[in-house]
Chain A
Amino acid sequence: MTSGTYEADLVGVPETHAPTDVGLDYLRADRGIRSWLLTTDHKRIGLMFYIVVIFALILGGIFALLLRTELLTPERTVMDAVTYNRMFTLHGVTMIWLFMIPAIPNVFGNFVLPIMLGAKDLAFPRLNLASFYVYLLGCVVTLGAMIWGGADTGWTFYVPYSTTSQSAVVPIVLGIFIFGISSIMTAVNFIVTTHTMRSANLSWFRLPLFVWALYGTSVIMLLATPVLGLSVIVVALDRAFQLGIFDPALGGDPVLFQHLFWFYSHPAVYIMILPAQGVMSEVVCTFSRRQPASYGAIAMSSLGIALVGFGTWGHHMFVAGMSEFDANVFGVLSMFVAIFSAIKVFTWVATMHRGSIHFNTPMLYFFWFLFLFVFGGMTGVAVATESLDVHWHDTYFVVAHFHFIMVGGTLTGFLAAVHYWFPKMFGRLYSERMGLLTSFAVFTGFVLTFFPQFLLGNAGMPRRYYSYPARYQWLNVLSTGGAWLLGGALVLTLGNLLVALFWGKRATANPWGSRGYEWMTPVLPPKTNFASTPFIGRGPYDYDRPEEAAHA
């Protein structure tokens, strides 16, 4: 990297922040297993989340590959229908609650949020640790339920199937409830930290955009999660005691459950995508070496998504028997929420205009994100168009659409963050060549997996199908091939990073030459980040000012 000049960043921080004054870096500050397991250091907690989240990704990925392998042929390939149905449920549950919801906020949010605010830690460090262990407990309960036999309801738990299915629905649902508690803990922590822990002089409109994204995410988590927790608990009670709240045979309304479920689960999509958008805002500014074209537009659209996202859940239920009027209202609101994402996309692209673009792995992931997110988002608008949704609802079109957003959006955001903050978290540089190569492979595998699924959906193949009419076969074969390529590419990515972790070149404090506040810390941040709260006299994207002025 051509980063020599930016060593200046290190010493550019007021003198008191020189690394010698603040002791050892966070990895070596304390020793022993206890110092990790009982740590309250946000960076170490972030790393512990990192490890578990990676395992969840691998587990969910293995499920996905098995599912795709089963779909190679129209009838049985490697497993029976019961196993298949349980496996797609577990794939969904693992990917959503074990991986995607905590991935970016709890790993990277935890790690950089306090540093970005110039704080020593989150407002409630012990609550943060508790959030990790609650999450871990949720993992144990959910994985236990999987060993128990797992549930075969799909991650949506639609009643009355979920209240009558002969599978371990209750433990899985309890696991999800526990994940919810962990989410709320983190959300409270992030919101309070952003409000009260900003260093002096760091006004709201100087916050890095990643902080805005985390803030929006936390608001959604805080408000939507309890409703999901309640609905799944009622399902569990319905199952255990035949309460009949949602059971039509006892006068309950099964469609009401869908309303409650999507009231959480639609905003949950934004819980998963907003942090990825935040990462991309950081990446595009750093590597274009330019201010965001409009800071306010990105920051405010994060909040806009968080708020309007609560009014659109009904577009998941157009064919569930809602009235035409309701469908029209939910339809039009869905059109508005897309505008906020469009604002972000335009602003990112405008940011590159007249920038000085450094092309490397995180930036390449930004490119993939841009394409996949725009395409995935626009197909989202397409499925929110009521008459089209009638044909697409519950087909592979929907599957492809949300994987474009979830995998194409969140996973590429996660991978961009993994590479972008790698030098700060581990003090080493990964192989840029391998990074670019694996990134290309991830994209190719992804498109090959999910593009055919759009066509399958058009052709009318419903989702959650164990066997399918033979006319759908060749597209399925294509998709399965892509899935294996994607899996291989992710394994290579992991390998590249593991090699870098142990044998990578030593990084400098600010290898990207970023003006982001987190890069002002030493190579590896010390335990308390700063000796005293730093005085931040400039914005996080002040690339237009000379280096000396930026740190003056």
Chain B
Amino acid sequence: MNETLRRLLFLPLQRSTVAYEIDRLHYFVISVTLVGSVLVFLLATIFTIRYRHPPEEPATPNVQAGYHSPAILLEIVILAGLLLLFLTWWVIGSRQFVRLRVAPDDALEVYVTAKQWMWKFAYPNGKRAISTMYVPARRPIKLIMTSRDVIHSFYVPDFRIKQDVVPGRYTTVWFQTTEPGTYQILCAEYCGTAHSAMRGEVIALEPSDYERWLAERPFESGPAGEAYVEPYTPEEGPRPQMINLVNEGQRAAAEHGCLRCHSTDGSAHIGPTWGGLFGSTVPLAGERQTIADEAYITQSMMDPTAKIHRGYLPVMPTFLGRIRPTETAAIVEFIKSLRNVPRQGPEGEDPGPVQGRITP
């Protein structure tokens, strides 16, 4: 039944854990749509035949014998039924939507950078890939995505997932494949001349094959097993080494001078400490606060004065344009790795600036 309907409607394969469920709602909605519009059309046709004015007779001035009061009750019942139907779709659809959006906690994270017109992937262990993303099958994968230029959209029809990739902020999407295989990635948000050529592949491997791939030297895996070298462009800096993304984040943080102001051991310094920062609640000016997630940390690098940790001076310069997106991701990953470092402030809070609290 499912297979027949899927083929009839030209739907792609169902290769993620959510696809079948979404397709069932799809069948429901589309069959009601088809049946409904055909019914209305048929009813109108029946009325036309039944109440057709005989063509040979002249139109009589007084066509209608009397005024029919509209069947108010019938109309209300039909409309209420229709609304109920629509609301049912909404309830099912919005629940599925939430499920589509909230990744399981144990998801494997992959960083995705979109640019005109390619997809780049970076793994927590520092491994990189272009256009082809290798993932272990049957494991939840969470993509943390950003764009270097314009808005793109990450779309895998076989998974029924899609998420816009927006410059200047991070968006996430997750999926879990049901079996190993190769699945096409399409860019769904118009992004310029070669928009339709911005394609890629998700290759889901058996977990053991994935581990082997992950352990390979980063440059020797490519589509169809060919060895390929990530294109090297001078603006990208030195060739990526075989390093862990956390280590790379530490290197980048040192290179860009972050560690001159931010401690990593939870102690007081010029800026807020990175120890235990990730996931914590950051007090801001006034009574506001925010959660230190990927978005907040990225924003603090790009526009440091936007949301300043209460008690600190707005002295940090912007790093917009100074560090590469992969370095940003690496630094975020590095800060994440410090999430369990105990802080030395009272009640595990941020210890505050090193020269004592300064109120601006």
- Asked if chains A and B come from one complex, the reply is yes
Q: Write the residues of chain A forming the contact surface with B, with a CB cutoff of 8 angstroms.
A: 2-6, 8, 81-82, 85, 152-154, 158, 160-161, 164-165, 248-249, 251-255, 288-291, 293-294, 297, 318-321, 324, 327-328, 331-332, 335-336, 338-339, 342-343, 345-347, 349-350, 352-359, 367, 370-371, 374-375, 378-379, 381-382, 385-391, 393-395, 455-456, 458-460, 462-469, 475, 513, 543-548
Tell me the bound Cα distance from A171 to B319 in angstroms.
Answer: 35
A5 touches B75 (CB 8 A): no
Tell me the bound Cα distance from A345 to B43 in angstroms.
Answer: 11
Q: Report if A289-B40 is in contact (Cβ < 8 Å); known contacts: A339-B79, A379-B33, A460-B12.
A: no
B196 touches A335 (CB 8 A): no
A467 nearest CB neighbor, chain B only: B196
Q: How far is the CB of A171 from chain B (nearest CB, A)?
A: 19
A335 touches B160 (CB 8 A): no
Cross-chain contact of A459 among B11, B63, B65, B169 (Cβ < 8 A)? B11
Within 8 A of A (CB), among B48-100: 48, 51-53, 55, 57-68, 70-72, 75, 78-79, 82-83, 86-87, 89-90, 92-100
Q: Which of B51, B79, B169 has the most CB of A within 10 A?
A: B51
Q: Report if A462-B187 is in contact (Cβ < 8 Å); known contacts: A2-B57, A352-B44, A544-B62.
A: yes
Tell me the bound Cα distance from A254 to B169 in angstroms.
Answer: 10
A459 touches B157 (CB 8 A): yes
B40 nearest CB neighbor, chain A only: A374
B153 touches A352 (CB 8 A): no
Question: Is there a chain A Cβ closer than 8 Å to B269's Cβ?
Answer: no
A289 touches B71 (CB 8 A): no
The number of residue pairs between A and B whose CB atoms lie closer than 8 Å in the complex comes to 291
Cross-chain contact of A343 among B79, B95, B186 (Cβ < 8 A)? B79
Q: Report if A5-B97 is in contact (Cβ < 8 Å); known contacts: A160-B167, A332-B90.
A: no
The list of the 4 closest CB pairs from A to B, nearest first, reads A248-B168, A460-B157, A387-B96, A547-B61
Q: Report if A543-B48 is in contact (Cβ < 8 Å); known contacts: A154-B190, A328-B94.
A: no
* Contact residues in B for A154 (Cβ distance below 8 Å): 190
B interface, how many residues as a size bin?
Answer: 35 or more
Q: Report if A160-B151 is in contact (Cβ < 8 Å); known contacts: A349-B44, A395-B188.
A: yes
Tell me the bound Cα distance from A165 to B195 in angstroms.
Answer: 13
Question: Is there a chain A Cβ closer than 8 Å to B25's Cβ?
Answer: yes
Q: Report if A390-B162 is in contact (Cβ < 8 Å); known contacts: A335-B83, A357-B53.
A: yes
A544 touches B10 (CB 8 A): no
* Contact residues in B for A164 (Cβ distance below 8 Å): 149-150
B36 touches A5 (CB 8 A): no
B166 touches A321 (CB 8 A): yes
Cross-chain contact of A394 among B67, B101, B161, B189 (Cβ < 8 A)? B189
Question: Is there a chain A Cβ closer than 8 Å to B191's Cβ?
Answer: yes
Tell me the bound Cα distance from A288 to B162 in angstroms.
Answer: 47
B167 nearest CB neighbor, chain A only: A248
A291 nearest CB neighbor, chain B only: B67
B30 nearest CB neighbor, chain A only: A382
A375 touches B33 (CB 8 A): yes
Cross-chain contact of A387 among B25, B34, B192, B195 (Cβ < 8 A)? B25
15 extra interchain contacts, Cβ-Cβ under 8 A, other than A293-B68, A544-B65? A81-B196, A254-B166, A254-B167, A294-B75, A319-B163, A324-B97, A324-B102, A347-B75, A353-B51, A354-B51, A386-B94, A388-B25, A390-B161, A458-B11, A460-B157
Tell me the bound Cα distance from A370 to B34 in angstroms.
Answer: 13
Q: List 30 A-B contacts (CB under 8 A).
A: A160-B149, A160-B167, A161-B192, A164-B150, A249-B168, A251-B306, A255-B166, A290-B63, A324-B101, A324-B102, A327-B94, A328-B94, A342-B79, A347-B75, A350-B71, A354-B64, A367-B44, A374-B37, A378-B37, A382-B30, A385-B89, A385-B92, A389-B93, A391-B26, A393-B162, A455-B9, A460-B155, A460-B158, A463-B190, A467-B196
Q: How far is the CB of A209 from chain B (nearest CB, A)?
A: 14
* Contact residues in B for A165 (Cβ distance below 8 Å): 192
B53 touches A356 (CB 8 A): yes
Cross-chain contact of B33 among A288, A382, A464, A513 (Cβ < 8 A)? A382
* Contact residues in B for A255 (Cβ distance below 8 Å): 166
Question: Is there a chain A Cβ closer than 8 Å to B109's Cβ?
Answer: no
